[in-house]
Structures are given as structure tokens and as C-alpha cells.
Amino acid sequence: MITSRALYTHTPVEGERGVCSAGHRLAAEAGVRVMREGGNAVDALCAAAFTAFVVEPASCGIGGYGHISLWLAESRRFVSIDAYCRAPLAARDDMFEVAPGSATYYGHPFTTGDRAATGPLAAAVPGAVAGFCEAQAKYGRLALERVLAPAIEAADAGVDFKFSDRLGVLDRVPEAEPSAETLAVLMPGGRFPRGGGGEPPDRMDTRPLARTLRLIARKGPAAFYRGRVAAAIERHVRGAGGLLGRDDLASYRPRTLLESPLRYRGHDYVSCYDQVAYEALNVLERFDIAGYGPDSFQYRHLAAEALALAFTDSMTHYGDPDFVASPVRGLSSPEFAAMRSRSIRLRRALSRPVTPGDPWPFDSSHPDTERVTGAGAFVPQSGTSQVASADRHGNMASCCISIGSAFGSLVYVPEVGCFLNNAMQNFDPRPGFPNSIAPGKMPIFAAPALVATRRGRALFAASGSGGYRIQTGVLHAFMNRIDHRMRVQAAVDHPRVHCQGAETVVDPRIPEPVRQRLRSAGHDVVEQPEAPGYWPYGRVCAVAWDPRRKRFEGGAGPSWQTAVAAY
């Protein structure tokens, strides 16, 4: 019997001068708009990100964080800006009671009452404003006011509740019992937000956010981290029993790095200090991915095994190296990956759960990272989006932007017009572990913002959303482009697998004989189809330069919540 299959994709988008791929049409258009006004790919990335902070309120915001990777053509160097959240200064490693039962998505225990994920204690110090303003000030070309203009215009207009926003409200609000301020925003008129079915959608009032963005546009990041905005955040969070305050905000610094790029098939790349991506690609580099073909059992099997190894190793060993001894160089070492790859068999899956490796003997074998600015004197549907951009000068950029879960901690600061993140859930709530809580510390975050070059020319950039499924989305898109020579949209659309060291999640569009071979090889196969509002293989935005055709390409998917613009 033959049955039809639903196909969702974007029409191909190409340009000669620049391209921007994002999680929302207005964000992608904002990126291209500032490039047409004389900005570069960094300006475009920041314009698109700030616009996304307005039009994707369930996914990202100025109360969240970002991971940014840049290729700067003029100086021929990579720059990574890790604008992740930090624990408040008053945070303690035992501040949460550990709940019995199963582990979270991040591999550590739940907290009693889910207090690390919902409510005022869940909010860590947001880094998005600092990170993007630093990127734009150092490496952009336009004034910040021009870069933020599209975001301010969007905030002035207000934001319709999209299908994904309504799903976030449906998923989180009933169980979370949020504050009156949060309910007033997410449940207009005291009811579930309307939209679809022919009725006009309810609109979120984003005028307070517009006022905050105007302050940032005029005064820079200090307008967010000091003064009345910081005071409002402290007053609201501490009044509700949280820790976040003005001292935390004033002390925040992103981690800006000149990473030593790693290499995949002759391409130099960085992924913003994401050791999972580095180890997985180092492992896959040792196999003939192109020779096996994009639809082969071997490609699916090797991708699952490499991801399983990399996730297991990072979840076991990674901690913020500014605070704990952590083998970050060992995890990204090609020699460590060579050792780990020897455990992979082409006809049989590794035993599950995967046993972690020991990266410590390899920790000094990989070049260290030059720190531009240090840590500073710090005296189901996830809330994440993404942007990738490229310009005619040869610059490329990508970023992953997030507030954690949908609408973050569900703490809304009405004077500021933003939801605060719930990044405290990314820490291990148990004392004595590499990823345990400490004041000013960044938790683990395994999501690549990837930029790749060849012979000094930027050729590919991508990032994604969807929790740890971002890894499989971005890495598959990269391999599909580099190994299988797909056009960018096809590279993003091609079905994927995902594994974090236990079951292997498989797109049912993969042919049944391949799925059956995965089962026979010992994979615990779980089939999960994509559907609107649900992306089990990550949501991906990518851009590329085709040196033969002298054109930019953009790709994005799933198509119902992404967009590409070019000129």
C-alpha cells in the first residue's frame, strides 16, 4: 500500500548581497533591512535577534540569553560571544530541594515544586542585551539606534498571539500558577488567547517593551543593566521571593572568545564553545559520511552514535571552567574523539546507556582559547529561537537565542515589558557536581551556533532551537551541505535522527528498511514525526555562500515557524 506524505518546506531563497534566516518573517526581514541600509552581517544578526525578542515572546527576549558566533572577513578571524545567563550572586549550590524520581531533560534531578524552572527563583542573570550590544558595538557598522529600529517598530505595533505562543500558554500556565502580572499578559481578559479558525487573534501589549528598547537604543546595554530597568527587575523578582537584583545585573559580563577553530572536511569552524558539537564532528570526521550517502543506514547509525558519545561525555564532565576544573579542551580534542570513535561498530550500536569516556588525558593536547573578555568581576516546546546571516563583504554570523522554557520562568516584569529566563534549571541542583550552582557561574548549554569557512572564505552558518535537539538539527544540516553537497534548504529539510545516549529518535520519513536496520543493530528506535508546534529534530536556520554561482542561499525549517530573506 502507498500512502501520501505531507511535505513542508520553503521556496528557495537566494541573493547576491546578503541573506538572513530566522525564526520569524519580521526578524529575517529586519536583518536584510539593516544590510540594505549599510550594515553588515553582525548588524543584521543583532537587528533580527532584537526583533525576535519582540515577535517571538515564548521563545526569546531581552530577559534571556544568546550564543553568538562570528566570522569577520576583514580580520579573517572567528569571534564567539557566550552571552549565557549567570547564577545570581546570592545563589547557593543547595538552594533547591531535589525531588525524587526521573531525571530532567538535562540529565540531572528535578527540583521540588519545579522551582528551578518556574517562578522567581528560576531566573538567572540575563545576558542577551549585553552580548548582542557588545557584538554590534565592536563588529557592526551602524549606530545601535538604527539596528534596533525594526524591533522598536514591531513592539510599538503589538504582537499577535501566534499558534506557537498559544501552545506555550496552554502548556505552562495551567500548572504554573503564575503571577497576576503574567496572567494579564498571557490570558487577556482572563481567558485563553484567541486566534485561528477565522477569528482575529488576540494581541500582546508590547508598548512597555518598546519603551525599554528605546532606552537601550539610546544609552546602550547600561540602560538595561543599571538604572530604573534594573531597579524594576529587582523590585519585581525579590518582591516575589527570588534572588535576582541590581548588583547581579550591574556585574554581568558575557564571555567573549577567540576560539581556535576545529576542522571538518577541510572547513574551519566554531560553534560558540559548544563541546558537544566539537566532539560529535570530530568523531564523524573519521568516517566516510559522503561515501555512505545521505539516505544510508550507516549515516543514520553514525550520527546517532557520535551524538550519544558527545552528549554523554559533556553531561558527565562539563562545568563552567571559570569556576570548576573542567576538561573543555579535552572534550573538543581530535585525539580524544579518535579514541572514542574506536568504540563505534558499523553494524552494532554501543550498549545503552553509553559509558562516558575520560577526556582529561587529552586536556592539554588542543590549543587553548584566547579570552578577549573574561568572566568579569561577578563581585516539549522550549523557549528558543535562532538567526543566521551573511553579507557581501564576506562576514557571516549565527546565534541561538533563548529564555529557556516557553515564556521562561513565567515571571513577567511589567515596567520592563519582558519575561525573565528560567536558566537556573540548567544547573545540577545537587552540590558537588561540575554543573552545580555557584554565584556568577554559567550552567551547561549544549547548542551550537556554527560558522564555517574554507580557505578564508565564510561558506556556511547555522543555529537552531528545540533544546538539545538543536545539536542534531545544526550538525545534520552542516553535514548534508558539506558531505552530501545539498542546497541549503534541502540540507535543512532532510530527515534526521537524534540520540543523547539512550534511545534513538528517528524521523519516520526515513525509509522503513533503514529504520529496521537501526533496530536490528541494537538502537532503541523511537519514531517521532514533526508537526506544527513540535519539532523533535530541532528548528534550524542556515545560510551559505556558493562560490561557484556567486550567490547566497538561505534555508530554514520547519517552514511553519521560520523565514528567509535575501537581497
Q: Which active-site residues does the annotation give? A: 384
How many secondary structure helices (H) and strands (E) does the chain include? Answer: 18, 24
Going by C-alpha positions, the residue among 57, 460, 537, 440 that lies closest to residue 266 is 460
* d(C-alpha 194, C-alpha 494), whole Å: 34
SS3 386: strand
Residue type, 284: L
Cell of 417: 515589558
Give the whole-angstrom CA distance, residue 467 versus residue 123. Answer: 18
Q: Comparing C-alpha atoms, which of 10, 42, 26, 14 is closest to residue 399?
A: 42
Q: Is 183 exposed, middle or buried (0-12, 13-18, 19+ CB in 10 A)?
A: middle
- 3-state DSSP of 426-459: HCECCCCCCCECCCCCCCCCCCCCEEEEECCEEE
Q: Judge contact between 124 and 85, C-beta under 8 A.
A: yes
Nearest to 297 by CA among 472, 519, 537: 519
Q: Treating both helix axes as pointing N-terminal to C-terminal, what angle do 128-139 and 144-157 enclose, rounded to 10 degrees?
A: 140
Residues 478 and 278 sit within 8 Å (Cβ to Cβ):
no
Q: Are 545 and 459 in contact (CB under 8 A)?
A: yes
Residue 20: closest CA among 553, 389, 386, 452: 389
List the one residue out of 228, 255, 268, 390 whose CA is nearest residue 328.
Answer: 255
